[in-house]
Structure 1
């Protein structure tokens, strides 16, 4: 028997980009024929695809950690590294994707919908791609960036036109088995149904789906019984069919009381923004088990009371199939009306306004942090953080190239405005990030390198501190503050 899982946490890691290659072409009589290092390949993305053939999130429950392949590194002779293939994860239609802060990232309600949930890292440029008129033979290459890593929650909400609601053992599984080709588990004890069952019903020219979900009891909206595990799957349905047991032998149970309990639970369940509350959706009532003489009498007795409340009532029997045809056509009529209303709403779609990025919007921020024990300047921004990640700090020329790039986007001017002076500690990225001792750039000397490959006169070997030493000093500073 297949276990049903409708909520699971998944840990995703997109592929890393491959490093670029630093290589110098060597030919006969030309020992230095120019740079020929290839670019690294991009890392693989992780893509979610809504697949109608999937019915459960069990596979993600068994294997919650998913990682895409990384791109290959570049090579000499202009050979670029291969790009890694994307990892495609197929999820059931109706899956809601929640981010780390429980924000809804996507709602995959349409078959075939694709969502790139984690982007792969960029491949680093080789020294051939970095060559220019001013830098004819770069002695460095860029490193690949890391792929996106995040934790998400996948939550499955059944997509159906009609949901069967009612107490356990009211006959919901028997009803969907009698009206469709579905074969749910049926037994004479409560909570036989432990996961939703979908059935396709054909009534005249209308075809619609019906969901048989676990039984509802008092306190379900607060988590009692199967609680929210049930109500989550009712949330998407267009109409509700109350299946009331007219042959129950339990004390203090009758169709009217059962209906009132179920309505209170539906009213207490919070739905998403813009959705119609469950208790306000179209509702029909099926008085089940009228093949039992006492049940038929009770159904005839309560029908007038239910109809006076505005419900369409159908006495049925899943054993003798009495009333099923009339019920099927009534449900088809309700579903058609809801579909027509949905099409009318979609005919006047909400206007989408595209606002381009402001030309004066900064690509980064500089903030002074610290206290009485010392201060440092933190730089945050997608562009500088990516550039820092691409830099090989064991190569002086690569460090000089990074300094030129940061200066061109105005980072040095921003540091001066923030109060930084020569020797100030600068941290790029969150946490400990990458730590620098900032020295203002007085000339773009990196553009006119005349020294050996991989060197930069602005980076003095005698005064250079390793990033490990800077990180240690940063840690001591933070410890002293706390």
Structure 2
């Protein structure tokens, strides 16, 4: 059975950046030719692209996870790792992207419109890019950044000029199938359409689109029935048309009460795009009333009886039609086109959509240091947290390089101002350190072995020279003395 899905939650994961390479150039007669480790490649981003050939969000309903490829690791001989390709995710025209808090991030209208949903992580620098006057041959490289992970909600809002609203079995689908080439399911028994139907209508040399909004019942704006699922499709409509079933036999229903009930639901509905000045409020949209099924004698009599009451109460144009005999359809089509053209002319000119470029800040130096309530301190900031994530803590030289960067940024001075004590816990990102203020960070790095830092040497750690001296002493000690 065909399914129409117009609201999904997807989990977008961008690719991770590749790690940098720590390599030393070697060739004949040049055993230590200098660092030549390349940088890691950038991770791929997740990008939404409007495709006219995609009409629903059904694919995301069954496959909600989208993952972009990661960047490759750098290599020796100054070879940078390959960047991960961006993952282009095709979405229908009229898709609205919302974040975890329900805020609108993008309103994607028009073929080719793009939106970067999750940014790929930057690749780590190789040791060739980290070489400096203080570190002429770094024995470490930076790790790649993690790709962005986001849970996003996609809502599909049908792009139509005229929206048909009405109670179930009012004849909306029949009206769409009669005035356009659309072929929705129509039956001679009571049922409600499970998917909005979109049709293209010709009014002479002009064309416009019509969509029905199925399943509206009292309480739809509060989640009853299917109305809340499809109310969002009227947000982009220029004209709203009430389709009234004049042949209904249900007790307690009449055309005026039906219109009042649907207007109450429309007024109670809070549009997602309510802040869009190009759309305006739903209450301000032009309306029309279609009294349907006048091919039934009792329905024709009821339509003639309530016509004056509807005009007096609402003041909207009224059209009596029959989708069976096609009576009244031609005047209705041209009247709807006039209303659509008038509404379009009254709207301000739409500026062409341009891609929004969001440059990544590279000089962000702001950070905050605050007590964590347990005697330690918490450091927050874009750069400190990124530097910690890029550091390989199995390499002492990389840790020393991190200490130098934090000291130049002013983190250590701020800790001293706040009264930090030696050995207190300092948390940056996902790492917690035992702070040692006597460590001379930010000064010229003393020369040491590759991958080591004399400032981080621990007394309980036995060096290679100490082990060699201990073996020599044991060999020189007489056997009787060792016993």
TM-score of the two chains, using structure 1 as the length reference: 0.88
| Aligned partners of 1:99 and 1:153 also within 8 Å | yes
Alignment pair present for 1:455 and 2:457: no
Alignment pair present for 1:302 and 2:306: yes
Indicate the residue corresponding to 1:30 in structure 2: 30
Shift in Å, 1:444: 5.3
Match of 1:5, SS?
coil
Q: 5 Å matches for 1:275-424?
A: 276-308=280-312, 309-343=314-348, 346=350, 363-370=366-373, 374-424=374-424
The alpha-carbon distance between structure 1 residues 60 and 446, as it changes in their structure 2 partners (threshold 3 A), is farther
Give the distance between the partners of 1:463 and 1:120, measured in 2 at CA: 41
Match of 1:228, SS?
helix
| Aligned partners of 1:422 and 1:439 also within 8 Å | yes
Give the distance between the partners of 1:99 and 1:381, measured in 2 at CA: 22
Match of 2:341, SS?
helix
Give the distance between the partners of 1:407 and 1:207, measured in 2 at CA: 67
| Aligned partners of 1:270 and 1:277 also within 8 Å | no
Shift in Å, 1:442: 6.0
Alignment pair present for 1:436 and 2:436: no
Give the distance between the partners of 2:434 and 2:310, measured in 1 at CA: 79
Q: In angstroms, what is the RMSD of aligned CA positions?
A: 2.4
Task: Judge which range, 163-172 or 295-304, deviates more.
Answer: 295-304
Shift in Å, 1:2: 2.6
| Aligned partners of 1:401 and 1:446 also within 8 Å | no
Give the distance between the partners of 2:442 and 2:331, measured in 1 at CA: 86
Match of 1:182, SS?
coil
- Structure 2, gaps ≥5 residues long: 462-483
Shift in Å, 1:133: 3.4
Give the distance between the partners of 2:256 and 2:311, measured in 1 at CA: 12
Indicate the residue corresponding to 1:168 in structure 2: 168
Shift in Å, 1:316: 0.9
TM-score of the two chains, using structure 2 as the length reference: 0.88
Q: 5 Å matches for 1:124-273?
A: 124-271=124-271, 272-273=274-275
Give the distance between the partners of 2:281 and 2:347, measured in 1 at CA: 16
- Structure 1, gaps ≥5 residues long: 465-482
Q: 5 Å matches for 1:100-119?
A: 100-119=100-119
CA-to-partner distance for each residue in 1:3-50, whole Å, 9 max, x for gaps?
Answer: 111111111211111111111111101111111111111111011122
Task: Judge which range, 97-106 or 267-276, deviates more.
Answer: 267-276
Shift in Å, 1:363: 1.4
Shift in Å, 1:463: 6.5
| Aligned partners of 2:396 and 2:452 also within 8 Å | yes
The alpha-carbon distance between structure 1 residues 460 and 244, as it changes in their structure 2 partners (threshold 3 A), is same
Indicate the residue corresponding to 1:43 in structure 2: 43
Give the distance between the partners of 2:193 and 2:19, measured in 1 at CA: 53
CA-to-partner distance for each residue in 1:300-347, whole Å, 9 max, x for gaps?
Answer: 222222223311111111122111111111111111111112225x58
Give the distance between the partners of 2:303 and 2:14, measured in 1 at CA: 59
| Aligned partners of 1:424 and 1:437 also within 8 Å | yes
Q: How many residues align?
A: 450
Shift in Å, 1:151: 1.4
Shift in Å, 1:255: 1.8
| Aligned partners of 1:269 and 1:278 also within 8 Å | no
Shift in Å, 1:246: 1.5
Give the distance between the partners of 2:320 and 2:229, measured in 1 at CA: 29
